[in-house]
Structure 1
């Protein structure tokens, strides 16, 4: 369906933007402390949202309540990922965070065929191949932080689907609240380092604006809009292509080498994602027995009900 393809396209765009955020964030954190980068990532997005929240676009009670809740879980994901990557190898981090693909349908309590978990397993194996060049080591504090990030990210996707189901929550307003929540949370810990911004160059500010407006505001808004039109499980699968885009960005702009194992890993992730998507779609919308029984839209049946 055209609507389904449009929704899938938006989710893939979010995955591309988030994939590119690793290289951007790496460059930004070389110039500024992590907490300042996280604060500005939210604060700049909040400033972009606030002028539009007037008159008929003012926040409703539900948008404030659920926006705060989602803002807390999204901020938790970013904190755990950032500090997890800082204390573990890239290989361990990429492999562990990919467990979101398996955890999302489990937390969503979706009824899925066994082959779905084979597809999710292919994605996990693909991430392992993507990062295999960096090697794996014994689990440590960073590995546990990445595992927590995978659990919280899966929970955030499921929560987003649950709270937006059958509620009049506008994506832009919900995203604005999440941005404000993140900015408030990181303001105090980032405050001691804010004077450093006076010496920050134009390139770093450009990186911060990209993280705030594209990797933050656009991605949160697009994710909210898309999850309202599909299931959390399907959204998790499409967003799970993020490591592929991170690899391609690194090769194109960061000078990373693309090995045969990396190519095989990317193929497994893309193939596993679309295989799992097809299985999930089939479970969500079983084929009608007659033309008269055909429903005009499968979005209200199957797994969407589990949201």
Structure 2
């Protein structure tokens, strides 16, 4: 029995780590996808493939009462905010390195509690703001590249994406609290909404799809099925079978994998300043995450974990 428990725990950890790896790799996949197609076309195809997969899963798993009113209403609103995040992220990663994109977007980890506290749920300890300061310094170093200069548009877009993504996460918590919403159905509604939002802007470039080669389609399918549908469902299952702190620790390795994939597979280079910024970003986000988790625990509040629909590129 004990061996079975250990095996189950290791399997859960492996799934969470795989989700972090998949999300970390999504930045390079999205960046290379924008070489062949315009950003809005990439987003439409990604959403459309995801929607087809989610709708098929819902149809296969639930023949009666497939969607509740709450799932449709909440999903429609969250689908809009999620689309805003993905627009900023995809445009951002198209104009910066995949490694930088993955690191800057991890600022969401410390921005989310700051935005969540505006509802009067308690005052964060001063150490949390120190961790936030470390993350902001890290962003400045990452934006500097080989020396201090005017920030690149891609880095600024990723910074904006981190803010909007944090607001999206807070909104997910508030809209789903006290409501019975199933993750798969909620994700399906969001993907349908996203597809609808991007179909008209992408319509003029539909002919470009005929020019996409097998590798290009492979990246689009990977973004849709693995980085969106699989990652979310796998994450939801794993979080339900693990502690919030352990899940957060493993999922928090996403920026590390973004750097590894960007350098290892994308051939990206890191300067000394960028390396320092990467180290500070990982340190600051983990530090802030731990402070916030302990603060919630001692305040007898619910300990959150990243269980929202993925918004990684």
Task: Normalising by structure 2, report the TM-score.
Answer: 0.75
Secondary structure in 2 matching 1:285: helix
Partners in 2 of 1:205 and 1:264 — Cα distance? 36
Name the residue aligned to 2:53: 48
Which residue, out of 23, 32, 36, partners 1:27?
Answer: 32
Name the residue aligned to 1:295: none
- Output one character per residue of 1:139-174: Cα deviation in whole Å (capped at 9) or x when no partner: 687676545423211110111122222321111111
Partners in 1 of 2:256 and 2:179 — Cα distance? 34
Which structure has the higher relative contact order (CA within 8 Å, separation 6+)? 2
TM-superposed CA distance for 1:56, in Å, is 3.9
Pairing 1:193–2:198 present = no
Equivalent pairs counted in the alignment come to: 291
Whether the 8 Å CA contact 1:104–1:155 is kept in 2: the answer is yes
Pairing 1:18–2:30 present = no
Whether the 8 Å CA contact 2:99–2:263 is kept in 1: the answer is no
TM-superposed CA distance for 1:79, in Å, is 1.2
Partners in 1 of 2:115 and 2:13 — Cα distance? 21
Pairing 1:302–2:301 present = yes
TM-superposed CA distance for 1:105, in Å, is 1.6
TM-superposed CA distance for 1:72, in Å, is 0.3
TM-superposed CA distance for 1:276, in Å, is 2.0
Partners in 1 of 2:238 and 2:179 — Cα distance? 15
**Aligned pair in 2 of structure 1 residues 18, 125: CA closer, same or farther (>3 Å)?**
farther
Unaligned runs of 5+ residues in structure 1 are: 288-300
Name the residue aligned to 2:76: 68
Partners in 2 of 1:212 and 1:149 — Cα distance? 19
Name the residue aligned to 1:161: 173
TM-superposed CA distance for 1:51, in Å, is 1.6
Name the residue aligned to 2:298: 286
Which residue, out of 66, 73, 78, partners 1:58?
Answer: 66
**Aligned pair in 2 of structure 1 residues 26, 133: CA closer, same or farther (>3 Å)?**
same
Unaligned runs of 5+ residues in structure 2 are: 1-5, 305-313
